[in-house]
């Protein structure tokens, strides 16, 4: 199996990624547009977004799309274990210039480890089921990051079609906890209503408060508000700078609060996030 040359570590700084744009690899127009819309990671999808009769051509299109350099890292989402396309997808990704592979419906560390070995690239695992949420702590160390698959998770939990985020908030927090414990990046799921820009921004801001590094998007119009949600506001940045500057070591007073080194480290992350 011939593997593509590894990209630089800088290209795979997933903690700096705020937006992950998913698009069907069967859509050449969307692929061409994705190069210039400003997403910080692009996922060429071979799974849910592609009809069965288009799987073969989409696979070839994804490999072709990453032949030439992109301004951002590019991943290919393979079809799941047990499908007729899975092994063919793994072989194609391994031979491609894709930076990462995306594993759908990850439910065990063994499964994810096997896929990472087969493609010879870092993987992002999608946590989309109850089993995946419960296994997330074992899965995360085998990955470069986790992605919450919120649509599939709602379906697996048998929630109503119009269910809010509230019933899955515990699952989302477990995914974040697993990623943080493993020291890998973690990304929120998609927002389905393409016309509700205010709703998207509110959900992205909520995801940031939950601890996600960024969010999945399914339309270029969602990219700019996604970036705004995951960049510290000016007031937060000024406070972080003042806190770092004021700290002298140990526990001390900062305004009306008591701060320790942990607060300084959090403030430094805010500053670094703004820089990146």
Q: What is the pLDDT of residues 172-199, one digit of tens each?
A: 999 999 999 999 999 999 999 999 999 9
Whether 154 contacts 180, CB under 8 Å: no
Mean of pLDDT values over 238-251: 82
pLDDT of residue 240: 78
Mark residue 255 as left, alpha or beta (left: phi above 0; alpha: psi -120 to 50; beta: remaining).
left
The reported pTM is 0.87
* pLDDT at residue 253 greater than cutoff 90: no
**What angle is formed at CA 220 by the lines to CA 197 and CA 129, rounded to 5 degrees?**
80
Helices (H), 81-196: 86-95, 109-119, 130-139, 150-156, 169-182
Mean of pLDDT values over 116-134: 98
pLDDT of residue 3: 33
pLDDT of residue 276: 64
Please state, in angstroms and rounded to a whole number, the distance separating the CA atoms of residues 232 and 270. 6
In DSSP terms, which residues pair with 186 in a beta bridge?
146
Mean pLDDT, the chain, whole residue set? 91
Whether 118 contacts 94, CB under 8 Å: yes
Spatial CB neighbours of 149, under 8 Å, sequence gap ≥ 6: 104, 105, 126, 127, 128, 132, 189
Among 6-20, 24-38, 45-59, 191-205, the range scoring the smallest mean pLDDT is 6-20
**Ordered structural domains, the chain, with CATH:** 10-229 (3.20.20.60), 234-275 (no CATH)
Longest Cα–Cα distance in the chain: 64
pLDDT of residue 33: 96
pLDDT above 70 covers a percentage of the chain that reads 96
Please state, in angstroms and rounded to a whole number, the distance separating the CA atoms of residues 189 and 203. 10
pLDDT of residue 5: 39
Structure tokens at 64: 């072709």
Please state, in angstroms and rounded to a whole number, the distance separating the CA atoms of residues 125 and 145. 7
* pLDDT at residue 91 greater than cutoff 70: yes
């Amino acid at each position: 199996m011939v593997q593509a040359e590894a990209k630089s570590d800088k290209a795979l700084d997933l903690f700096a990624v705020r937006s992950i744009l998913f698009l069907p690899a069967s859509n050449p127009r969307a692929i061409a547009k994705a190069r210039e819309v400003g997403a910080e990671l692009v996922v060429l999808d071979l799974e849910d977004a592609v009809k069965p009769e288009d799987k073969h051509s989409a696979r070839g299109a994804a490999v072709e799309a990453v032949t030439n350099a992109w301004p951002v890292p590019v991943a290919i989402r393979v079809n799941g274990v047990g499908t007729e396309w899975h092994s063919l997808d793994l072989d194609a990704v391994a031979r491609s210039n894709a930076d990462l592979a995306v594993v759908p419906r990850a439910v065990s560390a063994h499964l994810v480890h096997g896929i990472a070995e087969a493609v010879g690239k870092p993987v992002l695992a999608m946590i989309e089921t109850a089993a995946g949420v419960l296994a997330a702590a074992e899965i995360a160390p085998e990955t470069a990051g986790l992605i919450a698959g919120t649509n599939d998770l709602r379906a697996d939990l048998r929630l109503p079609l119009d269910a809010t985020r509230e019933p899955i908030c515990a699952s989302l927090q477990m995914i974040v906890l697993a990623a943080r414990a493993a020291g890998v990046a973690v990304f929120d799921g998609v927002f389905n209503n393409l016309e509700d820009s205010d709703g998207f921004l509110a959900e992205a801001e909520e995801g940031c408060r939950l601890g996600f590094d960024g969010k999945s998007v399914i339309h270029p119009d969602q990219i700019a508000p996604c970036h705004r949600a995951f960049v510290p506001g000016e007031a937060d940045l000024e406070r972080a700078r003042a806190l770092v500057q004021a700290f002298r070591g140990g526990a001390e007073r900062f305004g009306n609060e008591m701060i320790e080194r942990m607060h300084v480290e959090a403030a430094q992350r805010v500053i670094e996030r703004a820089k990146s």
